[in-house]
Amino acid sequence: ARFDALTARAQIGGWHGSMDDVVLHMERAYALAIDADRKDLQTTAAQVLAQTHIVRLELDEAERLLMRALELAGESGSIRARAGATLSYGWFLVVKGELDAAETVFEEVRQAAAELGVEPLVATALSRLGDLAWRRSDYKRAEKLYREALRITLARGDRGVLPDLQASLAETLAALGKIDEAELLALEVKESVRLDDPHLGVTVSATYAVVRAAQGRDDEAEELYRSALEQTRKSGFAILELEVLERFVAFYRDRGRDDEAVVYETRLADLVPSASARIERIA
C-alpha cells in the first residue's frame, strides 16, 4: 500500500511537471521494494526513475537504470514488469535515434501483450510503433497504428493517455492532407488541457503548428512553434524541447529556409548528438 501511495504521488508530480517530486517519491518506493524483496516493484521504480532521466535527456544515467530494471524484471518473473521496462527501453532507443532496434523492442511487447490479452500494453506498443512510422514518414502506417491504439484506449475509457494519442493522430492526418479531422482532434486535445499540465500545453501548441503548416498558414505555424519552444524552456523538460525543435527544423527545411533551420539545428545537436540524423528522417 505504501508503494502504491508513493507511486501515485510521483504520478501527480509528473502531471504537475515536477520531476524532482517524481524522483523523491520513486526513490522512496524503490527503497521500500528492496526492503520487501519485491523485484517486480523494484523494476517499476527503476524504470520510472529512468524515465525522469530520459525526460531530462540524461541518457547515460537512464541507460544504467534501464539495464537494472530489465535485469530485475527477468529475475521477478513478472510479465507486466518486464513489458513496462522494455517499453521504457524502447523509448530510450528512439531518443538515441536507434529506430530499428526500438521497433524490434516495441513489436516484442505488442506480440506478448496481445497473446496475454493485456490491452493497455497493446495500445501503448501500437502507439510507439506509430511514432516510429511517423518518424519514417510512413504516415499511412502511422495512421493505422494510432487509430487502433485509440480504439483500444477509448473502449477502455483510459482518458489519461487519450490526449497524446489524439495529438499524434492529428499530426499524422495533417501530413496526409486530412485537415478537417486533424483540426477536430487538435481541438479535442486543447479542450482537455489543464492549466497545471506543462506537457499538454506544449503538445497543443506543437500539434496546432503542424495543422496550420499543412493548411499553408505558415505565419501562424511559426508563431505556434515559437510558443511551444518557450513553454518547453519554462518546463525544464528537455525531451519536449527536442521534439518541438525536430518539427520546427523540418518546417523550415521543407520551405527552403535553411539559414533559419541551422540556428535550431545547433540547439538540437547540443541536446542530443544524434539529432541531425533524426531530422533527415523526419524532413
Place of cell 492529428: 170
Residue 67 cell numbers, joined = 539495464
| Per-residue pLDDT tens over the stretch 166-224 | 999 999 999 999 999 999 999 999 998 776 677 888 999 999 999 999 999 999 999 99
| Per-residue pLDDT tens over the stretch 237-272 | 899 999 999 999 999 999 999 999 999 999 998 888
pLDDT confidence of 235, banded at 50, 70, 90?
A: confident
Q: How far is CA 61 from CA 30, 47, 66, 127, in A?
A: 16, 11, 9, 25
The domain 158-283 belongs to what CATH superfamily? Tetratricopeptide repeat domain (1.25.40.10)
Handedness of CA 117, 119, 124, 129 (dihedral sign): positive
Any idea which fold 1-91 has? Answer: 1.25.40
Residue 277 predicted with pLDDT over 60: no
Q: How far is CA 250 from CA 124, 141, 254, 265, 278, in A?
A: 26, 20, 6, 10, 10
Residue ranges, CATH 1.25.40.10, the chain: 1-91, 158-283
Hey, what CATH class is 97-156 in? mainly alpha
